[in-house]
Chain A
Amino acid sequence: MMRRFALIAVPYLWLLLLFLVPFVIVLKISLSDTALAIPPYTPTLDWAEGLGSFFSQLDFENFIWLTQDDLYWRAYLSSLVIALVSTALTLMIGYPMAYGMARAPEEWRPTLMMLVILPFWTSFLIRVYAWMGILSNEGFLNQFLLWIGVIDTPLTILNTNTAVYIGIVYTYLPFMILPIYAALDRMDGSLIEAAEDLGCSRLSAFWLVTVPLSRNGIIAGCFLVFIPALGEFVIPSLLGGSGTLMIGKVLWEEFFSNRDWPVASAVAVVLLLILVVPIVLFQRNQQKQSEAET
């Protein structure tokens, strides 16, 4: 009994320490006002004055503020579009790669797996900087295209949204491949044989058997790509132009340029809500399905 309790307690403790406590701190700051002090917001919890005065000073004006300037919803919307498109692109590129890995001869698989993981051995920042060198006007890509004669003038890719997509897809591709590969690897190959024996073409066997069986891998991969891509800051600030509007960048400016921690926190809270709502809906859906099946 104790052991079971401890086993359940560990993940909840983890959730409490690493998610709930930071979230409550951010939520608290989002309900306060800026101040010229260390730290730069009020109210701070002062036990001498009691909880009453602490709560009475909290207000929602920072959230109202977010609705008054179109910058915020445009930034959220543009981040959503960028994250959705990059997730779709990553899936389109990642699925065939995972499929190929799962179908490859047994002895090749560790090597292929290694090749997917290998980029992690270099710092993420250095890999993004390398893309700057590849995509710039005098970069490798343009020089190569000029050399083979496909283009006459260099393409402007760096400092545009295209570069942001390339950066995100490249960076998050392993997070898409690994869960899909895990799902496909576990799949029982005889199911395909059975489908084919029963008159399915290879293509329809793929759509009717393989894809549904790897659905959990696809969903996990999409979440692993979509969630960090939505709040991405480094890739758009290095590869994107000044026209690339993303919520991570807006958050940075609230925090650093405006020194407005409360509004920055409000932006972060809303971002979290945008992420949590689809996750909760998805889990509900999963639960209903599993209940319907049993």
Chain B
Amino acid sequence: MILRTVTLTAVLALGASALMAEEVRVYNWSDYIDEELLTKFEAETGIDLIYDVFDSNEVLETKMLAGGSGYDVVVPSGTFLQRQIAAGAFQKLDPEKLPNLANMWNVVSERTEQYDPENAYSINYMWGTTGIGVNIGKVRELLGDDAPVNSLELVFNPANMEKLSECGVHFLDAPAELIPMALKYLGEDPDSHDPDVIKRAEEVFAPVRPYIQKFHSSEYVNALANGDICVAVGWSGDILQSRDRAAEADNGVEIEYHAATEGAQMWFDQMAIPVDAPNPDAAHVFLNFIMDAENMAAASNYVYYANGNKASQDFLIEDVIGDPAIYPDEATLSNLFTTTPYPAKVQRVVTRLWTKIKSGT
């Protein structure tokens, strides 16, 4: 009897390991997919999906540069992707295995070529802008009906910020986006790599720093929806998710998202396959699944970010495709800017400046 049990266990273990061979490990941003898609992928392909999340490009990059992360698909943003390609962290995609590449949208892929020439290493997952989320009721109460909610004046003019500090303001803890924003406010080139120009960002932050409650890259989603804060400098889709949470809670909080009229940063999150991915074939299957028009639309309908998939637009709900905060019109689109990665020496200046802005030392 004991012998039979042992044999049975061995057979089961063998069977399990044969099944285990087909698995794909995906490392994506937190709150960034409709989880039903994950179940659907497993059901359609029979591949086991292991889905982990992160919340900062820096953490992902350190894993990539250390090597041996064990992931098959990762999702860095454009500038980070470019640097990691240069470091040799990714493998070229095999277009043969990705028939759904035909669905992609040239408006986006032309822009992502800046980071990944010919889009040889990555596909676009989502893209968005960095802008301002406001609790419109509270902001109008403090600043009057003509509050400059669609302008950087709202968050960089100390007179406005002093009043807004009463109800709470959060900024992203992301120097690569906040410093270009401050430079734009000064009328400088937001993509400047000149340390002297970059250091001018301090002139913008120093007078408003006392009125900023916190620098954090994810807390603002709930804080804005609950009414704990009334202004957040954050990512478009996050603020729109916060708008929806407030609407669902029916708590009288009304959130709006605005890309600043002075110009807002546009960013792209790209899916790529690490050079040492354990299962690149399954990774291609996953990318192809994501590029399916209906699947991509389901993801966008869930997270309120625009995607780089032309074919998916037929399946997008009106709330997404019809919202200029998500799919901007031609005029707004031409007003958006992109940035390029900082070289190591300049990155040091940026990080040091950011520490100084946040902590005063």
| Known contacts A39-B66, A245-B361: A256-B59 contact under CB 8 Å | yes
How many angstroms from the CA of A139 to the CA of B58 in the assembled complex?
Answer: 32
A38:B67 contact, CB within 8 angstroms: yes
The answer to whether B62 and A256 touch across the interface, beta carbons within 8 angstroms, is: yes
Question: With A and B bound together, what is the CA distance between A256 and B352 in angstroms?
Answer: 13
Residues of chain A lying within 8 A (CB to CB) of residue B361: 70-71, 74, 245
Interface residues of B in 150-183 (CB under 8 A from A): 175
Q: A255 to B67, alpha carbons, bound, how many Å? A: 15
Point out the residue from A37, A69, A74, A253 that lies within 8 Å of B88, measured CB to CB: A37
Tell which of B56, B67, B275 touches A39, judged by Cβ atoms closer than 8 Å. B67
Is residue A232 within 8 Å, beta carbon to beta carbon, of the partner chain? no
Q: How many residues of A contact B (CB 8 A)?
A: 22
Chain B binder among A18-26, A257-265, A285-293: A257-265
Interface size class of B (residues with CB under 8 A): 20 to 34
Q: Does B86 contact A (CB under 8 A)?
A: yes
Contact with A along B42-71 (1 / 0, CB 8 A): 000000000000001011011011110000
User: Contact: B352 with A38, CB < 8 Å?
Assistant: no
**Across the interface, which residues of A come within 8 angstroms of B1, CB to CB?**
none
Q: Is A277 an interface residue (CB 8 A)?
A: no
Q: Is B87 an interface residue (CB 8 A)?
A: yes
Q: Contact check, A259 vs B352: say whether CB atoms are below 8 A apart.
A: no
B87 touches A256 (CB 8 A): no
Partner of B83, one of A36, A69, A74, A253: A36
B17 at the interface (CB under 8 A from A): no
Q: Contact check, A40 vs B58: say whether CB atoms are below 8 A apart.
A: no
Q: Which residues of A contact B87 (CB under 8 A)?
A: 36-38, 40
Kindly state whether residue A34 has any CB partner on chain B within 8 Å. Answer: yes
Q: How far is the CB of B61 from chain A (nearest CB, A)?
A: 7
| CA of A36 to CA of B354, assembled, Å | 23
Query: Does B344 sit within 8 A of A, measured CB to CB?
Result: yes
Q: Is the CB of A242 closer than 8 A to any CB of chain B?
A: yes
User: A10: shortest Cβ distance to chain B, in Å?
Assistant: 31
B351's contact among A34, A38, A244, A258, by CB below 8 Å, is which?
A: A258
| 6 smallest beta-carbon distances between A and B, as pairs | A256-B58, A242-B358, A38-B67, A40-B65, A257-B351, A36-B87
Q: Told that A36-B83, A245-B359, A260-B344 touch, could you supply 10 new A-B pairs with CB distance under 8 A?
A: A38-B64, A38-B65, A38-B89, A39-B67, A71-B355, A243-B359, A258-B347, A258-B348, A259-B65, A259-B347
